[in-house]
């Protein structure tokens, strides 16, 4: 499983597409306004259990399989926002989605930034 992730990352590093970030303030505004979007949490289940901001849990290691299984196909009607603890794993997930032709935004700073601002 991890070999597959690293193989994808190696391919992505040589062809870096431009990808967008979103701030915690922008995410909070979307939540407060009931804007339509999908929030995907790519952390591990234990991290999600300890603290979450109500995203759908799809751990980073499951992203390639989720893409292959078409799990994101029904999500193209709304903005997809991906987050993790600090923004690094979600950036990797964003790269994988981009390579599959799926647009998304990365939550800059992850739940660390969220907790600092809103907890």
Residues forming a β-bridge with 22: 107
In this prediction, residue 41 carries a pLDDT of: 98
Q: Residue 93's closest CA among 85, 101, 104?
A: 104
Instruction: Show which residues are catalytic.
Output: 84
In this prediction, residue 101 carries a pLDDT of: 92
CA 89 to chain centroid, in Å, comes to 8
In this prediction, residue 19 carries a pLDDT of: 80
Number of H helices and E strands in the chain, helices first, is 6, 5
Tokens 């907790």, residue located:
115
In this prediction, residue 27 carries a pLDDT of: 98
Residue boundaries of the structural domains of the chain: 2-118
For 38, 70, 72, the CA distances from 87, given in Å and listed in that order, are: 17, 24, 20
The CA-based angle 63-67-69, given to 5 degrees, is: 115
Q: What is the pLDDT along the chain (119 residues), one digit of tens a residue?
A: 556 666 666 655 555 556 899 999 999 999 999 999 999 999 999 999 999 999 999 999 999 999 999 999 999 899 999 999 999 999 999 999 999 999 999 999 999 999 999 98
In this prediction, residue 6 carries a pLDDT of: 64
| Pick among 3.40.50.880, 3.40.50.300, 3.30.565.10, 3.40.250.10: CATH of 2-118 | 3.40.250.10
């Amino acid at each position: 499983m991890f070999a597959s992730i690293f193989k994808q990352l190696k391919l992505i590093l040589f062809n870096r597409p431009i990808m967008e970030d979103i701030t915690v303030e922008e995410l909070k505004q979307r939540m407060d306004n009931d804007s339509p979007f999908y929030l995907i949490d790519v952390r591990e289940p234990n991290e999600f259990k300890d603290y979450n901001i109500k995203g759908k849990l799809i751990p980073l290691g499951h992203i390639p399989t989720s893409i292959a299984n078409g799990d994101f196909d029904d999500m193209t009607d709304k903005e997809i926002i991906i987050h993790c603890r600090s923004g690094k794993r979600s950036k990797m997930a964003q790269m994988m989605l981009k390579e599959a032709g799926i647009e998304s935004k990365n939550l800059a700073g992850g739940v660390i930034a969220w907790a600092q601002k809103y907890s």
